[in-house]
Structure 1
Amino acid sequence: MFHGKKQILSMKTMTTQNDFLREYLPWRNEYLLVLLELEQLINNGKCKDCGREEGFICCLSCSGEHSWCSSCAVKAHQHNPFHNLQLWNGKFYESNTLWDHSNLGAMEDVFAHMEGDTIYETQLGLSNLVIVHSTGVYSHCVSWCQCPEAEKDRHLHLLKAKLFPASITRPQSAFTFDVLDNFLIDALECKTSAMSFYQKLRCFTNNAFPHTIPDHYRELMRVSRIWRDLVNRIRFGFAHESDRSPGPGDLALYCPACPQPGINLPFSWKDTYDSWLVMQRYIVDGNFTAQHMKMKTPEDDVSLADGKGYMVTEGPYETHIIESVEEKEKSSCSNHHAVNAANVQRSNLRATGVGATACARHGCFVPHAVVDFQKGESIHFYERVNQSYHLSLPQSIKILPAIGKFHLSTHKLLCFPRFSLNFITGAGHIDGKILETLWAPFNKISPTARSMTLSHRQEVLDDHMRDSNWKKLVRIGKYPLFPRCQL
Structure 2
Amino acid sequence: MRNVQRAPIRRRKISIPAPESDVPTASTSQATPAEYEPMDLDPAGESSTSAQPRTKTRTRNRGVRPPDAQNPPFTATSVTVLATPSFVVKTVLPSRSPVKTVWSHYTDIFLFTEYNICFEKTSLAQLGVGVQLGHLPGTGPCSIPGRHVKDFAVCDLTGFHEVDVTFCACEHPDEGVIPFWIQLIRVGWFPGSREKPKTAFTLSVLDFFQQLNFQAKTNLSDFQRALSRYTDNSGRTFWNRRRPFAEAVRQYRHLVALKRGGRCHDPTGVDGTSAGALALECPACPHPGRNLPPQWNLVPMEMRWLYTLFLMVDANFKLKLKDRGIQDIELAPGWAYYVNESKFQAHIDEHHRKHGDGIEDNTCSAEHNAILKANLRKEGYIASGVGAVFCARHCLVRPNGVGDLQKGERYVNMDYLVLQTLALAVVSLVLLSYDIACQYSKKFRQRVKAFPPEMRLSEDIDVRFAIPKKHFVVHGANHSKYSLNYLQWVGRTYGEGVESAWHVFNSVSMATREMGPAMRHEVLNDHWGSWNWEKILNFGFLMTKSFVDAYEMKIKHASRFEEFNATFPTQTVNKWKRHLLRWKANPNIKPDPFEELETQTTLKEIQLKLAKEDADDTARGAVVQHEVSPSVFLHLGLEIEDQQRRLRSRAVGKHSASELVTLQEKRTTLGRRIELWRRIQNIYLPVAMPLYAADSASSGATPSSGLDDDLDDATSAEATKVEDVPLWLPSGLSPALRTADCIKTIAAKECELRKAQAFDALANIRRLRRVITGISVFKKLNLVNEGQRTSTRLRSYYDKFKTQIDHSAARYQAARAALLVLDPNGSWSVQLKVLRTEDIRGPTSDEDNNTKSLGQGRREVSWIWLVQHASPSVDGLENDFCEGMRVEWAKSQARAERWSEEVRLLQEEMRRVLEFLTWKASWWRAQAGQRADGSSMLKQGLAAYAEKEARVHEDLAKTFALRWYRILIFHKITPSWKTKYLSDVTEADLASTPDIRLLRGRSLTCEEDNDESDEGDEDEGDEDE
TM-score class normalised by the smaller sequence = 0.7 to 0.9
Alignment of 1:373 onto 2:405: yes
| 1:25-104 correspondence to structure 2 within 5 Å | 49=15, 64-65=63-64, 72-76=77-81, 82-90=109-117, 92-102=118-128
Alpha-carbon shift at residue 366 of structure 1 (Å): 1.0
For the 8 Å contact 2:14–2:78, the answer to whether it is kept is: no
Equivalent position to 1:296, from 325, 329, 332: 325
Alpha-carbon shift at residue 278 of structure 1 (Å): 2.1
What amino acid maps onto 2:239 in structure 1? P
Three-state SS of the structure 2 residue aligned to 1:108 is strand
Q: Which residue of 2 aligns with 1:343?
A: 375
Distance (whole Å) between structure 2 residues aligned to residue 200 and residue 323 of structure 1 = 47
What amino acid maps onto 2:163 in structure 1? H
Distance (whole Å) between structure 2 residues aligned to residue 340 and residue 177 of structure 1 = 46
Alignment of 1:124 onto 2:146: yes
Residue by residue over 1:286-342, the C-alpha shift from the partner in whole angstroms, topping out at 9 and shown as x without a partner, is: 1111111224143xx212101000111111110111122332257352213565246
Three-state SS of the structure 2 residue aligned to 1:444 is helix
Three-state SS of the structure 1 residue aligned to 2:499 is helix
For the 8 Å contact 2:124–2:162, the answer to whether it is kept is: no
Q: Aligned in 2, Cα 1:440/1:400: closer, same or farther, shift over 3 Å? A: same
TM-score by length of 2: 0.39
Distance (whole Å) between structure 2 residues aligned to residue 113 and residue 263 of structure 1 = 43
Residue identity (%): 29
Alpha-carbon shift at residue 458 of structure 1 (Å): 1.0
| 1:281-430 correspondence to structure 2 within 5 Å | 281-298=310-327, 301-324=328-351, 325=355, 326-329=357-360, 331=362, 333-337=365-369, 339-341=371-373, 343-377=375-409, 378=411, 379=440, 381-389=444-452, 391-415=455-479, 417-430=480-493
| 1:147-296 correspondence to structure 2 within 5 Å | 147-149=170-172, 151-209=177-235, 212-244=237-269, 245-272=272-299, 274-296=303-325
Residue by residue over 1:145-176, the C-alpha shift from the partner in whole angstroms, topping out at 9 and shown as x without a partner, is: 34443734222222222222222222111111
Three-state SS of the structure 2 residue aligned to 1:366 is strand
Distance (whole Å) between structure 2 residues aligned to residue 125 and residue 219 of structure 1 = 20
Alpha-carbon shift at residue 383 of structure 1 (Å): 4.6
Q: Aligned in 2, Cα 1:339/1:443: closer, same or farther, shift over 3 Å? A: farther
Q: Which residue of 2 aligns with 1:4?
A: none
For the 8 Å contact 1:48–1:66, the answer to whether it is kept is: no
Distance (whole Å) between structure 2 residues aligned to residue 224 and residue 48 of structure 1 = 35
Q: Which residue of 1 aligns with 2:511?
A: 448
Unaligned runs of 5+ in 2: 1-12, 19-24, 28-60, 67-72, 85-106, 412-439, 549-993, 998-1025
For the 8 Å contact 2:124–2:164, the answer to whether it is kept is: no
For the 8 Å contact 2:133–2:183, the answer to whether it is kept is: no
Q: Aligned in 2, Cα 1:54/1:231: closer, same or farther, shift over 3 Å? A: farther
TM-score by length of 1: 0.79
Three-state SS of the structure 2 residue aligned to 1:265 is coil
Distance (whole Å) between structure 1 residues aligned to residue 472 and residue 482 of structure 2 = 8
Three-state SS of the structure 2 residue aligned to 1:188 is helix
Alignment of 1:143 onto 2:175: no
Distance (whole Å) between structure 1 residues aligned to residue 125 and residue 406 of structure 2 = 54
What amino acid maps onto 1:168 in structure 2? R
Q: Aligned in 2, Cα 1:70/1:132: closer, same or farther, shift over 3 Å? A: farther
For the 8 Å contact 2:481–2:487, the answer to whether it is kept is: no
Three-state SS of the structure 2 residue aligned to 1:423 is coil
For the 8 Å contact 1:291–1:351, the answer to whether it is kept is: yes
For the 8 Å contact 1:323–1:388, the answer to whether it is kept is: no
Distance (whole Å) between structure 2 residues aligned to residue 186 and residue 361 of structure 1 = 28
Alignment of 1:468 onto 2:491: no
For the 8 Å contact 1:404–1:421, the answer to whether it is kept is: yes
For the 8 Å contact 1:85–1:95, the answer to whether it is kept is: yes
Residue by residue over 1:43-62, the C-alpha shift from the partner in whole angstroms, topping out at 9 and shown as x without a partner, is: xxxx995699789xxxxxx7
Distance (whole Å) between structure 2 residues aligned to residue 160 and residue 48 of structure 1 = 25
Structure (1 or 2) with the larger CA radius of gyration = 2
Alignment of 1:484 onto 2:995: yes
Q: Aligned in 2, Cα 1:204/1:69: closer, same or farther, shift over 3 Å? A: farther
What amino acid maps onto 1:358 in structure 2? F
Distance (whole Å) between structure 2 residues aligned to residue 70 and residue 108 of structure 1 = 24
Distance (whole Å) between structure 1 residues aligned to residue 82 and residue 233 of structure 2 = 23
Distance (whole Å) between structure 2 residues aligned to residue 269 and residue 282 of structure 1 = 20
Q: Aligned in 2, Cα 1:179/1:294: closer, same or farther, shift over 3 Å? A: same
Distance (whole Å) between structure 1 residues aligned to residue 526 and residue 311 of structure 2 = 21
Whichever structure has more helix as a proportion of its residues is 2
Alpha-carbon shift at residue 362 of structure 1 (Å): 0.9
Distance (whole Å) between structure 1 residues aligned to residue 295 and residue 75 of structure 2 = 73
Alpha-carbon shift at residue 410 of structure 1 (Å): 1.7
Three-state SS of the structure 1 residue aligned to 2:460 is coil
Alignment RMSD: 3.0
Q: Aligned in 2, Cα 1:399/1:163: closer, same or farther, shift over 3 Å? A: same
Alpha-carbon shift at residue 71 of structure 1 (Å): 5.5
Distance (whole Å) between structure 2 residues aligned to residue 78 and residue 54 of structure 1 = 31
| Residue range with higher mean Cα deviation, 240-249 or 197-206 | 240-249
Residue by residue over 1:239-285, the C-alpha shift from the partner in whole angstroms, topping out at 9 and shown as x without a partner, is: 12232421000001111111222212112224556222221111111
Q: Aligned in 2, Cα 1:455/1:359: closer, same or farther, shift over 3 Å? A: same
